[in-house]
């Protein structure tokens, strides 16, 4: 696919052409989104809702139009089910803090060992607060979620199941639809962390039948600081707000307050107006390509690069090796070299990857690791970028072959 819409990609880093492979952390932004936001600030910027002047009405119209684009993008039933948040982390914390009030002593919460801290700590702390029990679904030998164990762990005591749709470390795609069926069979709700899936593949929340679904805009071409919480309308209506003030208010008396209707009930204060609008434009851009086309293209990249990576001596690749079970997130280590040194070496070759525990320390402990290097592709990356990654790893290996810096 053409990357000419992404000016940032056409530069040199350390005298080498930039190969940006840190898309799991954040994506780059196309000119169409950048220019649309520039136009918004030049022509339409005003606070949303309640204002009757022209700029306020234009800004509000764009803000709510973006909500409808998001609804259609993930196939929610109603725009009332689309809550603007600061990001995936904020969305998941909102569910834990609000819906979490339904958790009582002795109840059980089931998550997976794959989870990003954002989908682990809120449930961990809720379990501590409520004296509930937190359970972990582990992995099979090839790095997939152990569904046999999941069936044993999810019981009538389970009240919440929360699992990422795609691991930000192993790139494995989890069967969240099957987990939702299992959760509902036992009367539990299903929460899905969609941060790594929504930018890369078609998402249909009604088909998944999840109760809550969270994702971030900055991983899918929009500005930072904007995210979405999808929740089934009946559940959101029954939940209490976690923040107060601004548009979430219906009427305030001296000793009592009533809340606004959905979705504004959960949107306290002045929202990230520009962020929401930018997410709407980002969705427009993604729709012009097509999410299935993006998923197919990234599968092509993984199918191309995985055998090349596996052929490098002393390179350990984690998670499934089958491209059909993998997204374009690939974690690896080079024997005898710290991941940070590996990432530094790759940067010297112009290849940007991430190194560390990737906010998944329990997974690292489970795998017996302290950290990994991680390359993550997006649709604007090419097969040539994949080759440059392989070549850079080999060059770095040669540079550090005696194991010293």
pLDDT of 34 higher than 80: yes
The residue ranges of every structural domain in the chain are: 32-288, 290-399
In sequence order, the 6+-apart residues with CB closer than 8 A to the CB of 272 are 84, 86, 223, 225, 226
pLDDT of 2 higher than 90: no
Rounded percentage of the chain residues whose pLDDT exceeds 70: 99
Which single residue is written with the structure tokens 């998550």? 111
Q: Which helix (H) or strand (E) holds 362?
A: helix 361-367
- Which CATH code fits 32-288? 3.40.640.10
Q: Does the predicted TM-score (pTM) go above 0.85? A: yes
Find how far residue 18's CA is from the centre of its chain: 24
- Reference 193, options 163, 221, 218, 169; nearest CA is 163
Q: Are 158 and 188 in contact (CB under 8 A)?
A: yes
- Reference 231, options 244, 223, 241, 221; nearest CA is 241
Question: Residue 405 has what pLDDT?
Answer: 45
Point out which residues pair with 228 in neighbouring strands: 84, 215
Binned at pLDDT 50, 70 and 90, residue 400 comes out as confident
pLDDT of 344 higher than 70: yes
Query: Which residue among 134, 289, 312, 359 is the active-site one?
Result: 359
- Which CATH code fits 290-399? 3.90.1150.10
Q: Is 359 a catalytic residue?
A: yes
- Reference 35, options 367, 390, 288, 284; nearest CA is 284
Question: Residue 47 has what pLDDT?
Answer: 95
């Amino acid at each position: 696919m053409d990357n000419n819409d992404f000016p940032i990609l056409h530069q040199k880093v350390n005298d080498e052409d930039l190969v940006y492979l840190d898309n799991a952390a954040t994506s780059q932004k196309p000119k169409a989104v950048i220019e649309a936001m520039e136009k918004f600030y030049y022509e339409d910027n005003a606070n949303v809702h309640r204002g009757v002047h022209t700029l306020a009405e234009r800004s509000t119209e764009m803000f709510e139009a973006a909500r409808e684009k998001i609804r259609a993008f993930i196939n929610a039933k109603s725009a009332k089910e689309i809550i603007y948040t600061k990001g995936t982390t904020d969305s998941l914390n909102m569910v834990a803090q609000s819906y979490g009030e339904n958790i009582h002593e002795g109840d059980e919460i089931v998550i997976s060992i794959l989870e990003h801290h954002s989908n682990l700590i809120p449930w961990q702390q809720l379990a501590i607060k409520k004296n509930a029990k937190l359970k972990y679904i582990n992995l099979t030998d090839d790095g997939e979620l152990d569904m046999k164990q999941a069936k044993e762990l999810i019981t009538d005591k389970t009240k919440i199941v929360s699992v990422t749709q795609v691991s930000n470390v192993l790139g494995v795609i989890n069967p969240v639809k099957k987990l939702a069926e299992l959760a509902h069979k036992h009367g539990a709700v299903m929460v899905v962390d969609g941060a790594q899936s929504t930018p890369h593949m078609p998402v249909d929340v009604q088909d998944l039948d999840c109760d809550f679904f969270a994702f971030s805009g900055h991983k899918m071409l929009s500005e930072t600081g904007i995210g979405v919480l999808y929740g089934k309308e009946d559940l959101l209506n029954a939940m209490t707000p976690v923040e107060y003030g601004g548009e979430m208010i219906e009427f305030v008396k001296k000793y009592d307050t009533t809340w606004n209707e959905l979705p504004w009930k959960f949107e306290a204060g002045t929202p990230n107006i520009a962020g929401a609008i930018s997410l709407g434009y980002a969705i427009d851009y993604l729709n012009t390509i097509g999410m299935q086309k993006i998923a197919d293209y990234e599968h092509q990249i993984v199918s191309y690069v995985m055998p090349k990576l596996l052929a490098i001596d002393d390179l350990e690749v984690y998670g499934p090796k089958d491209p059909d079970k993998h997204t374009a997130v690939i974690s690896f280590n080079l024997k005898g070299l710290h991941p940070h040194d590996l990432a530094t070496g790759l940067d010297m070759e112009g290849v940007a990857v991430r190194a560390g525990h990737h906010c998944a320390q329990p997974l690292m402990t489970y795998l017996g690791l302290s950290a990994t290097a991680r390359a993550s592709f997006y649709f604007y990356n090419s097969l040539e970028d994949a080759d440059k990654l392989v070549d850079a790893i080999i060059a770095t290996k040669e540079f550090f072959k005696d194991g010293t810096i």
